[in-house]
Amino acid sequence: MTNRILNHPVLDPIDESEVVTFTFDNKEYKGLRHESIAAALLANGVRTLRHHEESGTPRGIYCNIGHCFECRVSVNGEQGVRACLTPVQEGMNIESGGKLLTTVRDWRASQNG
Ligand code: FES
């Protein structure tokens, strides 16, 4: 495993003995039991979890405490799962959020035309 702080000066050491295997966008990754999907993906170098509905810009972890909804992914077919709050589990099939439909529109577009 890489990209993890294994011996934090304040927190308990991370137990690396329980490894789980999961997929993200059809690619296989390893994570640690009890860590979030977002943490497991970040530890594997994956920072883009979805793309903005309107602009298509990449989105990833922002608040990491469940407030911003920027980390939405699909888990085993269920859309809108917050990766920062959901523990990664063995065999999970995770897909990036993609461009979900939304009623939010950029009001500036109508002002310029
Ligand atoms: S990063 Fe903000 S809700 Fe997950």
Q: How confident is the model at residue 37 (pLDDT cuts 50, 70, 90)?
A: very high
Domains of the chain: 19-99 (3.10.20.440)
CB 73 within 8 A of CB 49: yes
Token pair 């000066």 is found at 9
* CA 90–ligand 1 middle distance (angstroms): 22
Lowest mean pLDDT among 3-7, 26-30, 64-68, 107-111: 107-111
| DSSP codes of every residue in 52-93 | -TTT--EE--SSSSSSS-TTEEEETTEEEEETTTSB--TT-E
* CA 3–ligand 1 middle distance (angstroms): 19
What pLDDT, on a 0 to 100 scale, did the predictor assign at position 78? Answer: 93
- Output the residue whose Cα is nearest ligand 1's atom 3: 66
- pLDDT digit string (tens) for 57-105? 999 999 999 999 999 999 999 999 999 999 999 999 999 976 555 566 6
Whole-model pTM above 0.85? Answer: no
Give me the torsion for CA of 93, 71, 41, 89, rounded to 10°: -40
